[in-house]
Structure 1
């Protein structure tokens, strides 16, 4: 059964809902693009409250605490696209969104520097035992000992996941005089003097500090477990600012208590508080030389401003022009700005003969196709057609919606 959104004459008629205190840069960009109905809410929504808020919404912006599951998406009767104003998208049921022809966008680049700087700061703090000394000083203590305190210069940093953040961290670490190794599932050209490790086991055994920068996938869940922690260099440090499921925290706590590891910094947890009244519970609490932060890797003014602009731009480009570049669950199509001709988008099952049926709609009505953009991905196809003139636009849209295998058809003026 196909879904459709009525033909929309202008961006001003689209309803936008932004949850979780998304930055002002997003609303400013929507305003400049002519979106007149933008609602902002400071907190996350769940369950019935989320379902109610989603009714009639065309574009939704969330961060990490709002969960868009199958039930929430079923209640979203007009939803065109979702913007995750963060790096991760695991808070969204991507499969269901895809089946409903809802592309999901995120911001994989905008908080890169903020996370890298946090890690670099944590490295310095851990190697100088600042967490313990700060607590002691607050209580009147005066620990000036140099025991187990080192300079960063000359130490070896191992980066697991040499992507946007990992490579930025490497540049900062080299500027501090560190030697940098990396391990990644893909061979990537290292920058500066960074070297490729012989493998994860080799990296763990050789590095003074190991920092994790991997996405959450079936392969990375439990990536650093009891055996991997035991394989780390004695007296080394572990930092995880990637995803909470990557590290076995019980095993990490054991290694810290035994002295096998001399410190750790963790910004992400398997279970994180979803409301102000909830408390973080982790086996790392109360352990010496451990920095715990509440998922703030990207929580800087600069990062949030950049994220607001990046994701809002993607949502606007999709709503106005049909561009899906950057969608994590959708075929990728990059389009020029909205043309003078009528522009139709058609999301469909990727089956033989579909494009022929789409083209037949226009030829039967004597409409010339000025441009066409098609991309398929697995079982999903996405085509954008520009037809000369605006004649019979409503009838053409109805014909497109009637094609068997259509998931969604929409007209962009």
Structure 2
């Protein structure tokens, strides 16, 4: 039966199900310089965001003549050289449906945090500081949320934001989406100009670089908030820091970074920033759904 390597962890129930189906499953993380060599003896590898599967790793793995399938447990596949893998006959799959609700909830949670100083007060209170007068926040009800990208996660975010009384605008690279007329389709520039909160829901494309940089931040409303629970690199972190320091933005919420683990402590420690360590899909429910999807993909592929 096929041998499966799980490098970044997976729901235990899903691992057991694979084993019960006869698959040989190894759960172990390998550093990049070791991964390719070890992949020589596996038919499939399951990764999350920590493991990067780049061209040299793929080439080394193929020396074993076994690797046929790479699965990303999550949505984005920018940590895998997808086209190169496909050109070598390796199938690349992800689990786009499983974590949508969890990431959307985190985006909304971050919006509350930066709007009501939850991120800051949670720290200062522990330092025995009662700074009530400092924390005059804003309500999100009645505000405008602009979504850049309108895939599964953005749609979930829109639904939750609407329920909270927000007006929702969206931009999508393929144009207006049928069946969502209750939300207003806008150009990227109009999203930036009109939104009190801008939330990113797009992949990182190395060739395009940051989608939100100095120019885009300048277009945004004075006192707006930027939310990024999508991918690191889609926001220029230096430009974001400048916008926060100048007062152009009232705050930002960040779950993903240009480099992970991030070394940008100036951004992490900024009083206007709510931060989390790439935990969008880190819920019990999402991990169970991801595990279920992975089992289905592997079972179907090797049947």
Offset of residue 239 of structure 1: 0.5
Which of the two has greater helix per residue? 2
Out of 49, 58, 80, the residue aligned to residue 64 of structure 1 is 49
Counterpart of 2:60? 75
Q: Is 2:238 the counterpart of 1:250?
A: yes
Counterpart of 1:206? 194
Counterpart of 1:293? 276
Larger Rg: 1
Unaligned runs of 5+ in 1: 1-12, 274-278, 321-413
State the alpha-carbon separation in 1 of the partners of residues 197 and 122 from structure 2. 21
Offset of residue 299 of structure 1: 1.0
Q: Is contact 2:78–2:203 with CA below 8 Å preserved after alignment?
A: no
Greater CA deviation, 181-190 or 253-262? 181-190
Aligned residues: 299
Unaligned runs of 5+ in 2: none
Out of 284, 299, 309, the residue aligned to residue 267 of structure 2 is 284
Offset of residue 141 of structure 1: 1.3
Taking only aligned residues, the RMSD between alpha carbons, in angstroms, comes to 1.8
Counterpart of 1:46? 32
State the alpha-carbon separation in 2 of the partners of residues 253 and 161 from structure 1. 23
Alignment of 1:121-200 (within 5 A): 121-145=109-133, 148-186=136-174, 187-189=176-178, 191=180, 193-197=182-186, 199-200=187-188
TM-score (norm. length: structure 1): 0.69
Counterpart of 2:291? 308
State the alpha-carbon separation in 2 of the partners of residues 151 and 57 from structure 1. 52
Offset of residue 291 of structure 1: 0.9
Q: Is contact 1:214–1:220 with CA below 8 Å preserved after alignment?
A: no
Out of 15, 19, 22, the residue aligned to residue 34 of structure 1 is 22
Counterpart of 1:319? 302
Q: Is contact 1:29–1:309 with CA below 8 Å preserved after alignment?
A: no
State the alpha-carbon separation in 1 of the partners of residues 136 and 157 from structure 2. 24
State the alpha-carbon separation in 2 of the partners of residues 218 and 91 from structure 1. 11
State the alpha-carbon separation in 2 of the partners of residues 73 and 21 from structure 1. 20
Give the ranges of 4+ consecutive aligned residues of structure 1 lying more than 3 Å apart after TM superposition: none
Q: Is contact 1:158–1:211 with CA below 8 Å preserved after alignment?
A: yes
State the alpha-carbon separation in 2 of the partners of residues 92 and 202 from structure 1. 33
State the alpha-carbon separation in 2 of the partners of residues 228 and 193 from structure 1. 26
Q: Is contact 1:159–1:211 with CA below 8 Å preserved after alignment?
A: yes
Change (3 A) 1:208 1:220: farther
State the alpha-carbon separation in 2 of the partners of residues 228 and 247 from structure 1. 10
Q: Is contact 1:84–1:107 with CA below 8 Å preserved after alignment?
A: yes
TM-score (norm. length: structure 2): 0.93
